[in-house]
Amino acid sequence: MSEIAAEKTKKNFLYRLLCGVLLGISVIAPGISGSIMAVVMGVYDDLIEIISNPFKNFIKNAIYLFPMCLGAGASMIALLKILRLLFEHYPVPAYLLFISLIAGSIPTVAAQAKAGSIKPIYALGTAAAFAIALSVGLLSRHGIALEAAATGQGIAEELYYPISGAIAGITSMIPGMSVSMVLMMLGVYEPLLNAAADLDVLTVAPVAACFACGMVLFSRVTKYVFRKWRGLGYLLVLGFMCGSLISIFPGLPKTPIETVISILAILLGCAISYVLRKLAQKYNACENDPAASPQMKE
């Protein structure tokens, strides 16, 4: 391998490691869509291709995913306890940080929508996506979860948590949907966050397994929609994003210290979004080197 090729491979590995870190954060951070993060970082198409055909080119897929899994696992373990403390003591700056991250990715998603065909009728889909995201977010914000979340409607807690994980896995493949927001609506986000922070494997493992199953089973549908109706798909993303931005807005800071922290959080979120866009343009293996993509379109 030449020095140039070796350097490029190293950069792609480090970039995918960073992608994994941010994807791990998006799984546990309310209001952040993991699929949107993947779109912004330029790895969404590869991920959905791999997830929809997990055993095709298995070795290449494993090599491609390894740094992402490594980064995601490390970020989730490192940030679980921090997020729990952050939302307990500084909820407003935390939500404003996530809002700025989402808002900063809007230009990228809009560009993706323009790359496909756009028809006036698609405005109805965008409005519907906006309404759904807004409704789900407001339900979680005001603590109005499904009645089943509180009582299980006769279903044991051992079954209800994994079922909730499967539902979250299905929605995770829809760009713009936040996994943690769905878990909030179902009334299981906080207990799962606490269980993960306490390394309660017996509670978390079945949920994670059902999450993966839901993600894999629904990925083919999502891939089909985004390949056949790319413009519509990304307009739906914009609708979900805008609805999420409104629904998770926590209100204005109440103290001078909280105001300062909130301003810093917003600036940090915008800076991260800007860096992500630049990194995606520079190191996206699919765009710069088609041979680096683990699954070539046949």
Per-residue tens of pLDDT for the chain, all 298 residues: 444 444 445 568 888 888 888 888 878 776 567 777 787 777 887 888 888 888 888 888 899 899 999 999 888 888 887 877 777 788 888 888 878 877 877 877 787 787 777 888 888 988 998 888 788 767 666 655 444 444 444 455 578 889 889 988 887 877 667 787 778 767 777 788 888 888 888 888 999 999 999 888 888 887 787 778 888 888 887 888 788 788 778 888 888 999 999 999 899 888 877 776 676 566 544 444 444 444 433 3
Q: Is residue 297 part of a domain?
A: no
Q: Residue 223 has what DSSP assignment?
A: H
Q: What is the pLDDT of residue 189?
A: 79
Q: What is the pLDDT of residue 260?
A: 93
Q: Is residue 171 part of a domain?
A: yes
How many other C-beta atoms lie within 10 A of the C-beta of residue 180? Answer: 23
Q: Is residue 181 part of a domain?
A: yes
Q: Is residue 58 part of a domain?
A: yes
Q: What is the pLDDT of residue 70?
A: 92
E strand residue ranges, 199-281: none
In this structure, what token pair is assigned to residue 7? Answer: 């350097």
pTM over 0.75: no
How many domains, the chain?
1
Q: What is the pLDDT of residue 264?
A: 92
The amino acid present at 42, given as its one-letter code, is G
Q: Is residue 237 part of a domain?
A: yes
| Residue 42 vs residues 35, 109, 175, 201: alpha-carbon distances, Å | 10, 11, 13, 32
- Residue range of the domain that includes 112: 3-292
Distance CA 196, CA 188 (A): 12
Q: Is residue 68 part of a domain?
A: yes
Q: Is residue 298 part of a domain?
A: no
Q: Is residue 273 part of a domain?
A: yes
